Amino acid sequence: MGKINNFSVNEKFDKLIYVCLILFALTFYMDIPINFIVLAFGLGLVKIIFIRTEIRFNSKHIQFILFFLLMILLSVIFNSEQSFWAGIKAYKSMYISPLTGIFLACFFKFSKRRAIVLLSCFTLILFINACIALVQFSYGISVDHNRVVGIFSSIMLLAAVHMMVLPIIFTVAVFAEDLPKSVRIFYFLTIIINIPAVILANTRIVWIGLSISYILILFLGIKNRLKVTASIIGIIIISVAIIYSEPASQSRLDSITNISTDAQTGYHNNRERIFMWQSAWQMFKDHPAFGVGMDNFHKQYVEHYKNPEAVEMQWHAHNLFLNTLAENGIVGTAGLVFLLIYLYYDVIRTWRRGNDVVAAAYFFSLLTFSIDFMTDVLFCGHYLKTPTYIFWLITGIYLSLTKHIIIEKQ
């Protein structure tokens, strides 16, 4: 009877966790008071009270994550530029809370079917969003300097999700041999309709990151070089036609390598980034060990480090590594660098061993998101934390499907 009851309790909790994850995948783009990943994590904690489980780790991900957290924490503890409790509060919000996504893999087993359902929910949202974005564009509706966002609450949230999720969708559609035909067609349609949507969102680093990933996915996933060449040429022709038919997109493309200042406004986006990168580097030079304090870039920038020629009052350095150096010094940055190196090392090793579509999908998501780190800070953001939750959830699914984390019931 005990075994039957335990099985029943386990199934009920798994269904509740699964429902929470589906709800998250269908609502992540909105500002709502409920974080369904945190709710799912809470259910997982309650679950282990009723069911004893043994968790086996077949990789060193947890060790590297803990080392990363420890080094960031040390930079907070020994920082003299902000109050201890303000640093701890920011540390919990930016680094601890989003980890609920990855630790779900310790309570909930992600089967391939469940993973495909969750991915399809994300895909549905991106498909709908792209359609609405195109309608908005046709009616001249846009926000933030002619950038259409569809149903998303933030242009930067949209950019981060494009960078993390679209490469997974494309990889699964290209690499997965056992994917149902209807699902594969849906994924390809989502990729195609998101080409103009991504372009019209006018986030340049997304253009660069997705271009690199898409080309690599096609070359590594399709053996027929004629199909690969035709696909790449087709994407390029469509993209160029859209960009040069829309003045705002053409201007964004032309500005990628332009660092000159506007004569009337004194502003140029690229030049502003150079100013903030210089300021971040100076913060690090002045506080090399522990930085200027967690989430303290804006205060320090405005009060001490803003270039007199800069127009914007920046909240972060728009570069993950420079921002971490500025706020957490060499101590915190060491933890981040070692973590990223291990993530790449493990996924490449896993992919080479089994040529697994899961490893390929995670690699391209990680690669594209890493490119985003170069001009934005979204891994552990100042105010935008949803991408961090999504990143750790994707990592948790990867660890579960590749047997890096195994749950054994007792």
For residue 185, is pLDDT > 80?
Answer: yes
Domain assignment present for residue 151? The answer is yes
Count of residues making up the chain: 410
Distances in whole angstroms, Cα of residue 251 to Cα of each of 133, 204, 255, 330: 19, 11, 6, 38
**Region for 329 from its dihedrals, namely left if φ exceeds 0, alpha if ψ lies in -120 to 50, beta otherwise:** left
Report the distance separating Cα 215 and Cα 253, nearest Å. 19
Answer for the pair 189, 130: CB distance below 8 angstroms, yes or no. no
Domain assignment present for residue 116? The answer is yes
Distances in whole angstroms, Cα of residue 74 to Cα of each of 80, 293, 327: 12, 11, 12
Q: pLDDT tens, 55-104? A: 888 889 999 999 999 999 999 999 877 788 888 888 888 889 899 989 88
134-140: Cβ within 8 A, 24+ apart: 134/193, 134/196, 134/197, 134/200, 137/200
Q: What is the pLDDT of residue 279?
A: 87
Identify the domain containing residue 377 by its residue range: 2-257+317-409
Domain assignment present for residue 213? The answer is yes
Q: What is the pLDDT of residue 265?
A: 41
Domain assignment present for residue 341? The answer is yes
Q: Average pLDDT in the 211-230 region?
A: 87
Domain assignment present for residue 312? The answer is no
For residue 33, is pLDDT > 70?
Answer: yes
Query: How many separate domains does the chain show?
Result: 1
Q: What is the pLDDT of residue 336?
A: 93
Can you give the pTM of this predicted structure?
Answer: 0.91
Report the distance separating Cα 391 and Cα 24, nearest Å. 13
Q: pLDDT tens, 327-362? A: 999 999 999 999 999 999 999 999 998 878 999 999
Domain assignment present for residue 335? The answer is yes
Q: Average pLDDT in the 104-133 region?
A: 93
Domain assignment present for residue 277? The answer is no
Which of 123-127, 209-213, 304-308 is predicted least confidently? 304-308
Tokens 């041999």, located at residue: 177
Q: Residue 382: CB partners within 8 Å, gap ≥ 6?
A: 94, 295, 297, 298, 315, 316
With cut-offs at 50, 70 and 90, classify the pLDDT of residue 271.
confident
Domain assignment present for residue 338? The answer is yes
With cut-offs at 50, 70 and 90, classify the pLDDT of residue 267.
very low
Answer for the pair 53, 409: CB distance below 8 angstroms, yes or no. yes
Q: What is the pLDDT of residue 409?
A: 63
